Amino acid sequence: MNRLIGVVALSVVAGGLSACGRGEDRPQTTAGEPILVTVAPVATIDTAERLEAGGVVAARESASISSRIVATIAGIRVKAGDRVRAGDVLITLDARDLAEHTVQVRAGAVAAEKALAHARTEQSAAGAEHRLATAWQKRIATLHAQNSATDQERDEAEARLSAAAARLAGTETGIESADAQLASARAAVGVATATESFTTVRAPFDGLVTERLTDSGNLAAPGVPLLRIESDGARQVVVRVDEARAPYLRVGDQVTVLIDAAAEPGAADTGREGVVAEVARAVGADQRAFTVKVSLPSSVTARTGSFARVVFRGAPRQALLVPTHAIQRHGQVLSVYVVQDGVARLRLIRVGISSSEGVEVLAGLDAGESIVVSPLTRLVDGALVTVGNVPTRPGGAS
């Protein structure tokens, strides 16, 4: 590790720190009185780069409610902050024109049903006439074979049969046409009924009305938002992550979510455990980034739209770790005591992130060095020390 951080700064603050060690509140230390200290090794651990991305808290489901038809808004039954259930009426539109149209198409369907009934009656009459003409033609043909009927009577019977057959075929075509008209009329009734139902806008799911964007009397049109609704239950954080970090993100990864305390009143802390629920396949060409959705525990009550930061694990690396209580702070200067040949040496350090296992050291120490864990209040730079118990872990106690 780079020790240059301690070369220049040490000459500036060492005198002050040593003077603090020789103050009236610290016992005097002489060369003949080594101090029994507990030390811990500077350990090397396997960790990963810290990748952080900002995003917003969002509901699992959200919807912008709009009309499917152009109509005047007759009434709005909810306001922002109201909780609704799936199927509840949110908005009613003026339905008079559509109601009249529905009446018309239903009347057309009734007329089509009557036309089909009349066509079937015509077919029944044509069938009876065809049967009579068939019987008459057979009788005349028999008599003609016995020379009891003239050729003219035979020809008239055959012509009568042909006319009856043509009429019967015509009635069958009429029935098919009437049946098609009835099906079309019934379909028109279905369309009109469905369109009329669009004048009642209902909630698509259980949730909370977060925004009301219009009032009664305004004109509703397809694609124009009228209300916004968000689902109840667990929240999620939506972030945009640089495409270079894509290889390190997987669905199911455990991540840390940091939410502003002001956005979640009553929360004991701002750190939350989250799970990567979705990683977008496409990368935005404008920002060279992709969308990641992180599921939050159901206990998170932060309002949607609140800012949140998500900490991901990046590329693997090694880090130096020291116990938190081995570090002394003097203003903005951090230091530890390193034991070298039975002497405590003040070492200035630069640290990174902290965890339950200890503090990462970015500069000022090397792996394997021994630092004093206790007693820190009795030490000064250059003091003689005797090493006692050595914890096996960086964060361990003596």
Dump pLDDT digits (tens) for 259-287: 876 656 554 445 778 888 888 876 666 66
Instruction: Give the pLDDT score at 217.
Output: 92
Residues 312 and 239 in one domain: yes
Residues 107 and 174 in one domain: yes
CATH value at residue 213 = 2.40.50.100
Domain that holds residue 177: 96-193
Q: Within a 10 A sphere around the Cβ of 30, how many other Cβ atoms?
A: 8
Q: Could you read off the pLDDT of 54-104 as tens digits, one per residue?
A: 888 888 888 999 999 999 999 999 999 899 999 999 999 999 999 999 999
- DSSP code of residue 114: H
77 and 211: one domain?
yes
For the cut 50, the answer to whether the pLDDT of residue 395 exceeds it is no
> How far apart are alpha carbons 107 and 103 in whole angstroms?
6
Asked whether residue 84 falls in the same domain as residue 223, the answer is: yes
Which amino acid is residue 228, in one-letter code? R
For residues 110 and 180, membership in a common domain is answered with: yes
Domain assignment present for residue 383? The answer is yes
Pick the last residue of a domain from 212, 230, 248.
230
Same domain for 100 and 83? Answer: no
Question: Would residue 392 count as lying in a domain?
Answer: no
Same domain, 85 and 131: no
Distance CA 336, CA 326 (A): 6
- Stretch 110-120: mean pLDDT, rounded? 92
Q: Clarify whether residues 118 and 206 are in a common domain.
A: no
Same domain, 217 and 336: no
Q: What value does the mean pLDDT take over residues 305-334?
A: 82
Q: What SS3 state is found at 56?
A: strand
Report residue 336's pLDDT band, with 50, 70 and 90 as the boundaries.
Answer: confident
Residues 343 and 296 in one domain: no
**Angle formed by the axes of helices 96-145 and 151-197, to 10°?**
160
**pLDDT at res. 344:** 85
Total of domains in the chain: 4
Give the global pTM: 0.57
Contacts of 310 by beta carbon, 8 Å cutoff, 6+ apart: 52, 53, 54, 55, 237, 239, 255, 256, 257, 258, 274, 292, 294
161 shares a domain with 105: yes
